[in-house]
Structure 1
Amino acid sequence: MSDIIRRDPRAEWIARNRLHPLHAAMQPVQDRWMGPNGLIRKNVHGIGFIGPNGIKRIDRTGAQQGGSAKRSAAVEVQLPLHVVAAPAFYITVVPDMVGGRLSSHDRDLLGLARQLAGQDGAVLAVVFGEHKESAFDTAGVDRLLVIDGDAFAGYSPEQRVQGLRAVDNQFDPRHWLLPDSRTGGGELGRRFAASLGERPATRVWQIKDGQCSGRAGAGREDLVRPLARLILAAAECADPVSETRHEATPVQLSTEVVRSLARIEDLGSVAVDPGAIPMAESEFIFSGGNGVQDWELFHKTAAVLGATEGASRVAVDNGFMARDRQVGATGTWVTARVYVAVGISGAIQHLQGIGACDKVVAINMDPGCDMIKRADLSVIGDSTEVFKALIEAVEAWRNGGKRDAA
């Protein structure tokens, strides 16, 4: 054969024509490139192979690409470690830790603290009670202070203010950051500000050039003021940390927190109807779409699981669910800890609405739909059979728990 490289005019024309069906196949796939901060990025869409059923698979062992598991592990990108040996000052963050884990609001707050800390300062996170979070290092925490004890269990804002006063006396932070939320941060921040005699900056959504901007006038106006020492920040106040890894070194208080005489008695949690919880505030959402065949069984399953019901736009348009139950860009943006999508194919508007959910579980008959690709856990099967299995599993677990308790 000749060694002369010949041009293919048709292939070049397809590569230039964006409307041609084969245009994407003619484009070179860029597997790796260097980001703006010098980190090597990988294109996850360009890695893998097509399986026997036409589904794209990602080979994490490297065997399909002719490599080995050791070679695949060697090219894994390791985030650079940011070390602050002797902090010049501290930026203290008190996250809500709803459910014992960092929420998206908490991560935005840590991103804002990272901006204020710069290279010389350290971000100190103060957590009350036990937690389940294991990713403080990738969230931007340099120092981690856990204050536990029976006095801080449950609803104890007065005792927590005493703990924050002890932290303030020992570390003398340059700024305090708390989430301006309904899940505890807003109230605790205002109580703490009154204890310190500080005027807090509330509903802050931007910090720039030594000034902070907060919402005012029922959200219709911005109030700009000099940067305060105590800041109650709104959600999406900054981008969360994603390109660095931090020490998250545990620290302790040098003195014991004085136990105050509580004027508030915590009587425990109150059982509420999951259907009465607004979807924007719900932690567990059970959402149905066009693939649900038995809606009565769907409602029963949601009640057994104790989840708030949601729906796709198609299900709402067909009259199976009320309009206020619609999830998505054209409905309600949700931030649930667990979002279960049953029979939802995954339109772009719906995927936008669940973008802030921590864990997504998809139940669908189509293994190639977009919701399956988005989900952290997928169940391929008939929704009716899955409903029955869920109900049986939950009832068996509850009956077993009662017998053990007896």
Structure 2
Amino acid sequence: MNVRRIDPHAERIRRNRLHPRHQEFVHPAWRWTGPNGVTRIDPHSLGAVGPNGIRRIDRSGAVVEAQPPTSSPIESGPSRRMVVIDDPAGFVMVVPECPEGRLSDHDRDLLGLARQLADGQSLAVTAVTFQGAVAGLEDAGADRWIDLSACVEGDCYDPESRLAALVSVERAMTPRHWLFADSFPGGGDLGRRLAARLSRSSSHGANARAATRVWQIAEGLGLSRAGGRQDIQRELPLILLALPECAEPVSETRHEARPISVDAAGSMSSDMTAVGVVDLGRVAVDPQQIPLAQAPFILSAGRGIGDWAGFHHAAEVLGASEGASRVAVDDGNMPRTRQVGATGTFVSASCYIAVGISGAVQHLQGIAKCQRVVAINRDPGCDMVKRADLALIADGDAVLAAVCARLGKPMADVTTTESRGEHYHDAA
């Protein structure tokens, strides 16, 4: 099944004749008027060939695109414009959190905000990561990349070692700004630690006082949320802790993300025990006890599920939080607290697996911020399949049973009384 996908960003540029890249996206019209006033028609561009091989002709004068039936059904815009900064006048440091080793939406917003600070001043946006390999830095707007994974031990909680490494980078490169995600205990904690450390230095002083809850910058000033009070406006300090959606992610340019090395060996001497910080490891948490809006991995069910005991077993095997469509909740198969969508809970999971969900508008609105969406459905033309990053056209019950068997925990090994097959009803 070939599903035609359209890039909404390319469509907006194509409709905007004032956009500087408008001509890259438009296609020549099939009819035009020559210099002598005679109407000319290009027979090769008259209409377009659909996926079934039938030519469709649009005589309204709209722009059409001829597409042979053997070509790819996926419409792709032109390649991004490459930006290279060989000799930067300074640096803007961005410390992305990179949950699960990849950039999150909040990280991309931070890099977009950094580009607003760097563009027009020949500054290089530099991503500083504590992971060995992070994909997508080039498309997200990073001109340089500093890998500090050797300064920390694995994925343990080691704020002092990370702080010492960032101080070494500050001394070696003296950047114009540091950008962190204002979240706890990630960038929000590390950014405040760096601000407290640098404020002791006479060279920084009050400029090292961090601006928190930043959501917008303009003309050298930053706006910070202040709860129910009026937003706080101040000159941009050295360290900024930004909120989600603080800027548009980079979408039109591609950058080098050139690796550079900084001597941060001194950070390895940090002793967490000396400062009273001891990492006792991760604590196992029942995925069903995590609030649905904060769950990183969700297995969601719709009316296409017939074996609910198998669905609950698959969620337990995969370690996923359970979600449901409105129809599944109305049928009494899932509690109302597990409903995903505009009429339920908005979720922002790293991975969202929709099993037997057709994809109503309200449900698609609720999963708009999910990073990866996987659809398992028998209908190849449903809206959820069109929305998904990966689609499996198959029976949901059979796929979940096969996954459990592949992981060595088939449903046959679990007694019926141990599986959760309750029927839920709303309180009167």
Fold agreement, TM-score > 0.5: yes
Aligned to 1:18: none
Equivalent in the alignment of 1:328? 341
* Corresponding position of 1:139: 140
1:300 alignment partner in structure 2: 313
Alpha-carbon contact 2:84-2:256 (below 8 Å) kept: yes
Q: Which residue number in structure 1 is paired with residue 93 of structure 2?
A: 92
Q: Hey, what does 1:65 align to over in structure 2?
A: 68
- What is the CA deviation profile of residues 14-67 of structure 1, one whole-angstrom value per residue up to 9, with x for unaligned ones? xxxxxxxxxxxxxxx999677723262379xx9873349xxxxxxxxx996178
Contact residue 52 and residue 69 of structure 2 kept, 8 A: no
Match of 1:164 in 2: 166
- Tell me the equivalent position of 2:260: 251
Alpha-carbon distance change, 112 to 148 in structure 1, aligned in 2, over 3 angstroms: same
Aligned-residue CA RMSD in angstroms?
2.9
Cα shift readout 1:111-153 (whole Å, capped 9, x = no counterpart): 000001113111011001323x321111000000001226343
Compared CA separation, residues 204 and 282, structure 1 to 2 (3 A): same
Q: How many residues align?
A: 353
1:96–1:183 Cα contact (<8 Å) kept: no
- Of 311, 323, 331 in structure 2, the residue corresponding to residue 310 of structure 1 is 323
Preserved CA contact (<8 Å) 2:25 2:77: no
SS of corresponding position for 1:192: helix
Distance 2:387 2:49 in 1: 17
Alpha-carbon distance change, 63 to 206 in structure 1, aligned in 2, over 3 angstroms: closer
Picking from 194, 197, 200, the partner of 1:195 is 197
Aligned partners of 2:189 and 2:281: how far apart in 1?
Answer: 18
Matched ranges for 1:111-122 at <5 A: 111-119=112-120, 120-122=122-124
1:361 aligned to 2:374? yes
1:234 to 204, 228, 243: 243
When residues 321 and 136 of structure 1 are mapped into structure 2, their CA distance, relative to the original with a 3 A threshold, is: same
Q: Is the 8 A contact 2:83 2:254 kept in 1?
A: yes
Mapped pair 1:387 → 2:413 = no
Deviation at 1:387, TM superposition (A): 2.0
Corresponding residue number in structure 2 for 1:81: 82
Number of the residue aligned with 1:41: 25
Moved more, 261-270 or 336-345: 261-270
Cα gap change, 1:101/1:68 in structure 2, threshold over 3 Å: closer, same or farther?
Answer: closer
Select between 314-323 and 370-379 the one with higher mean Cα deviation. 314-323
Name the counterpart of 1:125: 127
Distance 1:380 1:67 in 2: 22
The residue type paired with residue 65 of structure 1 is P
CA distance in 2, matches of 1:122, 1:224: 25
Residues 98, 183 of structure 1: 8 Å contact kept = no
Question: 2-side partners of 1:47 and 1:275: how far apart?
Answer: 50
- Over 3 Å off, 4+ runs: 29-35, 66-69
Range moving further from structure 2, 87-96 or 371-380: 371-380
Q: Which residue of 1 aligns with 2:414?
A: none
Secondary structure, counterpart of 1:280 in structure 2? helix
Asked if the contact 1:31/1:47 (under 8 Å) is kept, the reply is no
Give matches, 1:262-301, under 5 Å. Answer: 262=272, 263=275, 264-301=277-314
Q: Residue 79 of structure 2: SS of its match in structure 1? A: coil
Q: What are structure 2's unaligned runs of at least 5 residues?
A: 1-10, 28-46, 54-64, 200-207, 411-428
Match of 1:19 in 2: none
Q: TM-score, normalised by structure 2?
A: 0.76
Q: Which whole-Å CA distance do the structure 1 matches of 2:383 and 2:306 have between them?
A: 20
Aligned-pair CA distance for 1:328:
1.9
Distance 1:352 1:361 in 2: 16
Separation of aligned partners in 2, 1:240 and 1:372? 25
CA contact (8 A) 2:213 2:243 kept: yes
How far apart are residue 82 of structure 1 and its match? 0.8
Q: C-alpha distance in 2, partners of 1:30/1:156?
A: 45
Structure 2 counterpart of 1:275, which letter? Q
Partner Cα distance (2:308, 2:220) in 1: 54
Whether 1:50 aligns to 2:54 is no
Aligned to 1:173: 175
TM-superposed deviation, 1:254: 3.7
The residue identity in structure 2 corresponding to 1:38 is: R
What do the CA deviations read for 1:161-205 (whole angstroms, capped 9, x no partner)? 001101111111111100011351111111111111122111111
Do residues 102 (structure 1) and 111 (structure 2) align?
A: no
**How far apart in 2 are the matches of 1:47 and 1:196?**
62
User: Which residue of 1 is the match for residue 32 of structure 2?
Assistant: none
Contact 2:97 2:186 in 1 (8 A): yes
Identity of matched residues, %: 50
* Paired AA for residue 223 in structure 1: I
Greater CA drift, 313-322 or 238-247 = 313-322
Amino acid at match of 1:315: A
For the 8 Å contact 2:217–2:223, the answer to whether it is kept is yes
Structure 1 position 221, deviation (Å): 4.8
Q: 1:83 to 1:373 in 2, by over 3 A?
A: same
State how far apart, in whole Å, the 1-side matches of 2:243 and 2:369 are. 15
Q: Which runs of 5+ in 1 are unaligned?
A: 1-28, 53-61, 398-406
**1:210 aligns to what?**
220
